[in-house]
Amino acid sequence: MEVIGLTGGIAAGKSTVARLFAELGCAVVDADQVARSVVAAGSPVLATLVEVFGREILAADGALDRPALGTLVFADPAARARLEGITHPAIAAASRARFEALAQRGEQVALYEAALLIETGRHEEMDGLIVVTADEARRLARLIERDGLSEREARQRLEAQWPQQRKAALADHVIDNSAGLDDTRRQVERVWRQVARESARRPKGAL
């Protein structure tokens, strides 16, 4: 089965693009959903995070308080590296299990939506790479509205990731999500046609 990576800068609109691909019939694995399952209440990964970052990252019901953890790590590169070192291997293993299930179901192509796909080096495991971009003003506005951040906090989160131009340079396909949903949908349809044509010729991935 082909596994195509989908990534981009924070608030560029990766989830919107993933939804549009799903509407066209493409199977989608969302790394964020996988991550939520990996750190579910009572999980070994969550227990390790509590050991490293303290019980203040727990909500009253024992689940992970993601905003509290985010506040700790986004402004601290060393803390963010510790977090990624704990969670990324577990997310990768859980994602592989989902890909195997999709392959057994007979899917020919699956999309793997992951914010840090390139930063973790997992893009090299993919059979192709799609990068979603959007202009900085739109991304900043989305972060402020979506996550309730101040402009300063939103800028910190933008700066914590690779520049989107650097990601786009590695892509097989770039989708610019700056001009509205209809324009983005047309780009997704074009890329999906190309991916479908290429999937029979490309060597299969390891996942």
What is the pTM for the complete model shown? 0.84
Q: What is the pLDDT of residue 207?
A: 46
Q: What is the pLDDT of residue 160?
A: 82
Band of residue 120 on the pLDDT scale cut at 50, 70, 90: confident
Q: Is there a contact between 135 and 9 (Cβ–Cβ < 8 Å)?
A: no
Share the mean pLDDT of the chain. 93
Return the bridge partners of 86, or none.
none
Q: What is the pLDDT of residue 14?
A: 96
Distance CA 76, CA 2 (A): 36
Structure confidence by residue, pLDDT tens digits, 84-107? 999 989 998 999 999 999 999 999
**Percent of the chain scored above 90 by pLDDT?**
86
Structural domains present in the chain: 2-198 (3.40.50.300)
Report the relative pairing of strands 2-8 and 27-30 from DSSP bridges: unpaired
Structure confidence by residue, pLDDT tens digits, 154-184? 999 898 889 999 999 999 999 999 999 999 9
Q: Tell me the average pLDDT across 30-39.
A: 95
